[in-house]
Amino acid sequence: MLSVDKRYRYIYKPVVFVASLTPAAYLAAGAFEIFGLSLGPDPVAHLLHSCGKTALNFLLITLLVTPVRRLTGFTHLLRLRRMLGLFAFFYVVSHFLVYLVFDQVLDLRAVLQDIAKRPYITLGFTALLILIPLAVTSTHKMMRRLGRRWQRLHQLIYVAAILGVWHYYWQVKRDVREPLLYIFMLAVLLGYRIVVRWQARRRVTSKSGSATAPERI
């Protein structure tokens, strides 16, 4: 029987990798009209929306790993978090490249004007810039080199997620029910972390208080 380490290395990681590539494969098949798939009458808009939404999904799934690990005790889930975070970055970059290459036809001046004048594009581009150093420093070598600074740096994923959801909300002009759902899910994930940290600080405070309290006779 395979050990937990081998199951994650040879089964769980490959399965998660293939599943994470599935949205990209589906979009590629639609772009080339393979297997009867199509991106519809406006393929650029379809690509933009799909890549952006998939990026948000992976950001939220990445943030979901820690709560699930704490609630279930499946500590080995942390081995999948880096892969999920990198796929979130992959789809964010894909979202931006579709916008740059197909929507703006590599017109960098128009792109810069959009970033400066359209707030929702400003938010999305800022989220992309934040995720770049997180992706670059995602290796074990960079974790060892940065030490405690690595953890502080990677807390920026919360800011990127907030900006990404905000970007989606401002982009939608009419029906905001789906962006509101993303806002709710992100609020739950961030709220859980706030509660856990508050409880941890409370336990530390109560222990230190009991340690310094005078002994009763």
Assigned domain for 86 exists: yes
Confidence of residue 79 (pLDDT cuts 50, 70, 90): confident
Assigned domain for 101 exists: yes
Domains identified in the chain, total number: 1
pTM exceeding 0.75: yes
Cα distance between residue 73 and residue 200, in whole Å? 17
Percent of the chain with pLDDT over 90: 74
pLDDT digits (tens, 9 = 90+) for 157-192: 999 999 999 999 999 878 899 999 999 999 999 999
Confidence (pLDDT) at 145: 92
Three-state SS string over 83-141 comes to HHHHHHHHHHHHHHHHHHHHHCCCCHHHHHHHHHHCHHHHHHHHHHHHHHHHHHCCCHH
Assigned domain for 216 exists: no
* Least confident stretch, 25-39, 65-79, 88-102: 65-79
Assigned domain for 198 exists: yes
Cα distance between residue 20 and residue 33, in whole Å? 21
Confidence (pLDDT) at 211: 53
Assigned domain for 211 exists: no
Residue indicated by tokens 């609020």: 187
Structural domain boundaries enclosing 119 = 4-205
Residue 138 has pLDDT above 50, yes or no: yes
Confidence (pLDDT) at 213: 47
Assigned domain for 99 exists: yes
Assigned domain for 212 exists: no
Assigned domain for 213 exists: no
